[in-house]
A and B are shown apart, each in its own frame.
Chain A
């Protein structure tokens, strides 16, 4: 997968795409209370500042209530300071292939919080989609 440098500064009014760095050097997205080495994070990393590479993608046509249909999804891989970190998220388009470069694009609401089974107040509903880089 690609090893890309920081591409741009995140917009100040958008929340970070927060991954956690752990004492063993690993970075996980989303952040977990404990890392692979069983220790707490030492700092947060904003992935929205980086480009990623598409590991795989799909277009889902049987989506639950409150989710856009079709729903383009991808697993992507960032490289931050030589460390790989993967993320999953919606794609802005299905015009994409394995190996393509993408960049995170903020979306204030990824699905309708009131339409699904999960309690709306139990989690956040904003986040980052991935857009192919021309």
Chain B
């Protein structure tokens, strides 16, 4: 079977942006088309990953809007919403469109405009994904992180500082990412002394609220050289769903969607956890980097914190995780994040990551929706 190649990629500046959602999406789309030297009307499919433009901005129909703005008519278009994993779900849809033969040239754009809302408003928009039995108690995504972190530290006798070291590592990586919201290092004391947000987690254990967008261009590998000299291929991709009600999961420290989605992706790629050279994980909260690195099989259950302590996941470590700075430093514009994760792996595999470059032939991106409610795992390899 002809594999799906990524022949173009772009990412806009993440942070507090002046543009609204249509402008952000069009900016990433135009930049991505330019990397491959094509026009909008060359596209056959166009997908837009976005969680909540209607709730944040009162703008719905963003797929149609951006298709028009990019002069992509009459390409088939659709908006993909899978909450925080909308980006990964968009990668899955774009991959399907090419792998199935339905499209020979597909553009995916992910984006979100959030910073014009207060923290309380943005938190409520995101928390609206919860079950009514959770929502009425004021349960938020950060509070799920606090609940899980306390259980993890208790269960595995991990030091609180190990979580803080995830933030320190990812902020350090973000310094070399010109698109990151925070290009600034933080030290352990700063993280440990920052205000409590969801006990035992503090402000620096959480990603910021962010505007931004990213895009990917996909085609069959057999024609990839028509668009790019260097490209990456998606060799495995899997999506999986866990319970809507988070407390029903048998073990609060295990994300079943991560395990299940990666099992599919590994099998499809014919690879295992030990074959992965670099990974982008969904560190919306520091605790998630532990849960995902264990669920993906990089480390044994309850051992992920030790890898961070030992520097295994540093940029110059055995398995670099979040060379982009992760959501923690780069920012988390909901619909863009899963696309930007794949952008970073694409940059690493095509040798264009600049000062962030590591030695990698295979990479993995794991995008988490809700609190592990929906997960997409994508495995990529350098194009031949």
Contact = CB atoms under 8 A, between A and B. Distances in A.
13 contacts: A28-B248, A59-B196, A60-B143, A60-B197, A61-B197, A62-B120, A63-B138, A73-B139, A116-B128, A117-B121, A117-B124, A123-B136, A127-B133
Contact of B198 (A28, A61, A126): A61
A125 B136 contact: yes
Contacts of A62: 119-120, 123, 140, 142, 197-198
A71 B137 CA distance: 9
B245 interface: yes
B36 interface: no
A59 to B, nearest CB: 4
B151 A55 contact: yes
Nearest to A31: B133
B287 to A, nearest CB: 11
B134 interface: yes
Interface in A12-34: 28-30
A39 interface: no
A111 B136 CA distance: 6
A29 B131 CA distance: 11
Contact of A86 (B125, B142, B149, B247): B247
A28 B125 CA distance: 27
Interface residues of B, number: 40
A57 B139 contact: no
Nearest to B126: A64
B351 interface: no
Nearest to A89: B137
Classify the interface of chain B: helix, strand, loop or mixed.
Answer: helix
B312 interface: no
Interface of A: 28-30, 55-68, 71, 73-75, 86-90, 94, 98, 110-111, 116-118, 122-127
B136 A65 contact: no
Nearest to B124: A64
B133 A59 contact: no
Contacts of B73: none
Contacts of B245: 28, 30, 88
Given A75-B252, A116-B124, A57 B150 contact: yes
Contacts of A67: 138
B138 A56 contact: no
Contacts of B247: 55, 75, 86-88
A110 B42 CA distance: 53
B243 to A, nearest CB: 9
Q: Counting chain A CB atoms within 10 Å of each CB, which of B128, B136, B199, B245 scores highest?
A: B136
A29 B133 contact: yes
A56 B151 contact: yes
Contacts of B138: 60, 63-64, 66-68, 71, 73, 90, 110-111
B308 to A, nearest CB: 21
A86 B134 CA distance: 12
A80 to B, nearest CB: 15
Contacts of B124: 64-65, 116-117
Contacts of B154: 56, 98
B199 A124 contact: no
Contacts of A90: 137-138
Nearest to A67: B138
Interface in B306-359: none
